[in-house]
């Protein structure tokens, strides 16, 4: 990928500048990186959400590839239909080029509202890549909690106050849910680790069947962090093992990055205002619980990867 990257960066962006995403947003970086690998012969399906709103407000579009806007719940279903139509036309000799199919959705449209259609597309075996840009809440509609929101995070529907100290449930293990579908390829990454992410996009598009990548996409508005810090927060999420980088190839787990020194989770939490209440003396137990959750999931992953 290192040699190919020199070629890829010479290509025009397939997601143009000038869209309406917040300054410092990491999701457009993830989209650009994915499209850099996929190239112009790509059809994109996109669930309603932050990135759909900021890139396609009528009459403008930031996309230089064919783009289908879908409802919150059916990005995977729509694109699986497009992929099936493409295969039919190719069998009839009406299309001779190879086309990539990539569905995008935020965590709201993937972990929650779109989970059913995603599961169906994976089970049916469509040759398509689904990328979830996970900013851990419904950011587009007011920062409401989602199934991806971490334990203890303050959102507009789980406000930290006298009644509750933020979200009281653990985040959904979506990557494990996808792995249960026995698809050829799935992975986790971040836009900060761009070589890791782009390499995984390349593998995913080459897979013989459906593939899935979950990308952590820090959101300074929803995470109450400093605007320039989003990529650094993505890096620390990995070094604290809150968001491990790994892939699953034909059911085999493989770690793609192992921190030289595993940082304490508080190093990640303290950068985000949505967790500031956890540092009050009365919530010390929640900090301990959060660290134990991360440690358990990290140790479970090491076992799956044969690195325990």
Judge whether residue 150 has pLDDT over 80: yes
Residues 6+ apart with CB under 8 A from 176: none
Report the pLDDT averaged over residues 276-295.
97
Residues 290, 74: Cα–Cα separation, whole Å: 33
Judge whether residue 1 has pLDDT over 90: no
Residues 28, 139: Cα–Cα separation, whole Å: 15
Please tell me the predicted confidence (pLDDT) of residue 3. Answer: 60
Contact between residue 123 and residue 76 where contact means Cβ atoms under 8 Å apart: no
Report the pLDDT averaged over residues 24-51.
97
Report the pLDDT averaged over residues 194-206.
97
Residues 101, 46: Cα–Cα separation, whole Å: 11
Instruction: Using a pLDDT cut of 90, give the percent of the chain over it.
Output: 95
Please tell me the predicted confidence (pLDDT) of residue 11. Answer: 87
Judge whether residue 69 has pLDDT over 70: yes
Instruction: Using a pLDDT cut of 70, give the percent of the chain over it.
Output: 99
Band (pLDDT 50/70/90 cuts) for residue 2 is: low
Report the pLDDT averaged over residues 90-97.
96
Band (pLDDT 50/70/90 cuts) for residue 6 is: confident
Please tell me the predicted confidence (pLDDT) of residue 156. Answer: 98
Please state, rounded to an integer, the average pLDDT across all residues of the chain.
Answer: 96
**Upper half-sphere CA count for residue 277 (Cβ side, 13 Å):** 16
Q: From residue 305, give the alpha-carbon distance in Å to each of 184, 198, 259.
A: 16, 21, 15
Report the pLDDT averaged over residues 167-189.
97
Please tell me the predicted confidence (pLDDT) of residue 293. Answer: 98
Contact between residue 197 and residue 184 where contact means Cβ atoms under 8 Å apart: no
What CATH number does domain 2-304 carry, 3.40.50.300, 3.90.25.10, 3.40.50.720, 3.40.50.970?
A: 3.40.50.970
Report the pLDDT averaged over residues 71-76.
96
Judge whether residue 240 has pLDDT over 80: yes
Report the pLDDT averaged over residues 8-22.
92
Band (pLDDT 50/70/90 cuts) for residue 168 is: very high
Please tell me the predicted confidence (pLDDT) of residue 5. Answer: 82
Extended strands (E) in the chain: 42-47, 67-70, 100-106, 129-134, 185-189, 211-216, 246-249, 252-255
3-class secondary structure, 76 = helix
Please tell me the predicted confidence (pLDDT) of residue 157. Answer: 98
Band (pLDDT 50/70/90 cuts) for residue 7 is: confident
Q: Considering the entire predicted model, what is its pTM?
A: 0.97
Q: What is the DSSP letter of 196?
A: H
Quote the Cα angle for 296-147-297, to 5°: 10
Band (pLDDT 50/70/90 cuts) for residue 10 is: confident
């Amino acid at each position: 990928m290192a040699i190919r990257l020199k070629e890829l960066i010479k290509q025009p962006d397939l997601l143009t500048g000038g869209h309406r995403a917040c300054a410092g947003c990491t999701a457009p970086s993830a989209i650009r990186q994915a499209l850099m690998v996929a190239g112009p012969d790509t059809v994109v399906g996109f669930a309603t959400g932050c990135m759909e709103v900021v890139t396609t407000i009528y009459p403008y579009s930031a996309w230089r590839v064919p783009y289908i806007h879908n409802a919150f719940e059916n990005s995977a279903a729509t694109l699986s239909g497009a992929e099936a139509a493409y295969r039919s036309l190719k069998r009839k000799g009406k299309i001779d080029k190879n086309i990539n199919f990539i569905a995008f959705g935020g965590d709201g449209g993937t972990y929650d509202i779109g989970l059913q259609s995603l599961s169906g597309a994976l089970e049916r075996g469509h040759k398509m890549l689904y990328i979830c840009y996970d900013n851990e809440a419904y950011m587009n509609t007011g920062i409401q909690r989602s199934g991806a929101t971490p334990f203890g995070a303050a959102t507009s529907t789980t406000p930290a106050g006298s009644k509750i100290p933020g979200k009281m449930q653990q985040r959904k293990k979506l990557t494990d849910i996808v792995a249960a579908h026995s698809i050829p390829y799935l992975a986790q990454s971040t836009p900060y680790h761009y070589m890791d992410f782009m390499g995984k996009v390349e593998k995913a598009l080459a897979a013989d069947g459906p593939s899935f990548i979950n990308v952590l996409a820090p959101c300074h508005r929803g995470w109450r962090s400093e605007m320039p810090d989003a990529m650094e927060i993505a890096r620390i999420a990995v070094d604290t093992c809150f968001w491990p980088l790994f892939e699953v190839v034909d059911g085999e787990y493989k770690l793609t990055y192992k921190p030289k020194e595993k940082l304490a989770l508080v190093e990640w939490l303290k950068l985000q205002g949505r967790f500031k209440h956890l540092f009050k003396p009365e919530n010390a137990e929640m900090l301990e619980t959060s660290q134990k959750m991360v440690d358990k999931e990290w140790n479970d992953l090491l076992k799956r990867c044969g690195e325990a």
